[in-house]
Amino acid sequence: MRFALTPEQRQFAASLDDLLGAADVPAAARCWVSGEHGPVRDIWRRLGELGATALAVPERYDGLDAHPVDLVVAFEAFGRHALPGPLVESLAVLPILLDEHSAAARWLPDLAAGKRIATVALPPHVPYALDAGAADVVFEHRDGSLRLVEGPGEALRSVDPARSPHLVGAGASLGQVDAARAWEFGVLTCTAQLLGAGLAMLETTREYAAGRRQFGRPIGAFQAVKHQLADVLVGLELARPLLYGAAVALADGAGTAGRDTSAAKIATGVAAHRAARAALQVHGALGYTQEYDLSLWLTKVRALKSAWGTDAVHRARVMDYLATESMSS
């Protein structure tokens, strides 16, 4: 199978890059950290005008009912620009959870239009509702039941200052909902964010290495730096087909979809973490400073790597699939 984006998908990706590049996302992210949510909400509304917030929403609720690959394209752009907010929860997971539910008509049209921001906790692997303090509506899925939570609950600290996980309290049950497919979409879009963030750090580091001079030469001319960045590129590009393959498997309802999303999450997490380490080593002490934009990606990758299931969780899933396949063959 040849994984290649269509001209429309490439144009969509370019439009997202143009929008986010012009929006000064790093400045908006710093406002988000300080509790000023207006700039990110403005970006969210513009994404709604472009259709990016409607991708996973069914057409009957004013959505696009897009292919999972389209979601990957969008979330890779979100990761590349370090856009904060409960993107996975609001734009990928909840549209799946609420689909076919009587409550869908109440929330999905506004989510599709980018007029509302929502978040959700899915214990055990997603025990906290991300950015519940900034969301318009908060849900929790527990014991097969989807609950509407009153209030954001207690805020906890994250390694990424732009991510604010919240403990949620009891909520009114909206009925039984199967969260299995929504979980897979959460893993998929979190992985796409990781890929985008890794690619952004690689590009930033390449540009820095080309301009920073030592011993009369750009540091990017030294083999130690070249090889390190080449290893980062290889890791990210090898992870990319796993990610797109997982998106296709989810679209087709393949029995291997769970295995494929977990394998993509593992490979992309390792590659993005390597990109972060290389970026920090090449930038030196500058990379540690919060004033330098690189820090936004460094902390985000560290948080996303364990979000929507740790490496241990996903490795165990892959092993279970392999063991099952081995026994049935």
Distance separating the N- and C-terminal Cα atoms of the chain: 23
* pLDDT score at 1: 52
Identify the CATH number of the domain in which residue 286 sits: 1.20.140.10
Q: Which of 84-88, 169-173, 208-212, 324-328 has the lowest mean pLDDT?
A: 324-328
Q: How would you classify the pairing of strands 145-149 and 137-142?
A: antiparallel
Say which residue, 78 or 329, is predicted with more confidence.
Answer: 78
User: Does any domain span residue 295?
Assistant: yes
Q: Average the pLDDT over 177-198 and give the result.
A: 97
Q: Average the pLDDT over 28-36 and give the result.
A: 96
* pLDDT score at 43: 97
Q: Average the pLDDT over 158-165 and give the result.
A: 95
Average per-residue pLDDT for the chain:
93
* pLDDT score at 16: 97
Q: Average the pLDDT over 52-81 and give the result.
A: 97
Quick check: 3 pLDDT over 80? Answer: no
Quick check: 218 pLDDT over 60? Answer: yes
User: Does any domain span residue 323?
Assistant: yes
User: Does any domain span residue 44?
Assistant: no
Q: Average the pLDDT over 230-253 and give the result.
A: 96
Number of folded domains that form the chain = 1
Task: Provide the pLDDT confidence category of residue 320 given band limits of 50, 70 and 90.
Answer: very high
User: Does any domain span residue 172?
Assistant: no
Q: Average the pLDDT over 224-229 and give the result.
A: 90
Quick check: 265 pLDDT over 70? Answer: yes
* pLDDT score at 217: 81
Q: Average the pLDDT over 105-120 and give the result.
A: 96
User: Does any domain span residue 133?
Assistant: no
* pLDDT score at 103: 81
Domain that holds residue 267: 183-328
Q: Average the pLDDT over 15-26 and give the result.
A: 97
Quick check: 237 pLDDT over 60? Answer: yes
* pLDDT score at 312: 96
User: Does any domain span residue 170?
Assistant: no
User: Does any domain span residue 84?
Assistant: no
> Tens digits of per-residue pLDDT, 119-156?
999 999 999 999 999 999 999 998 899 999 987 889 99
pTM: 0.95
User: Does any domain span residue 314?
Assistant: yes
Q: How far is 199 from 176, CA to CA, in rounded Å?
A: 39
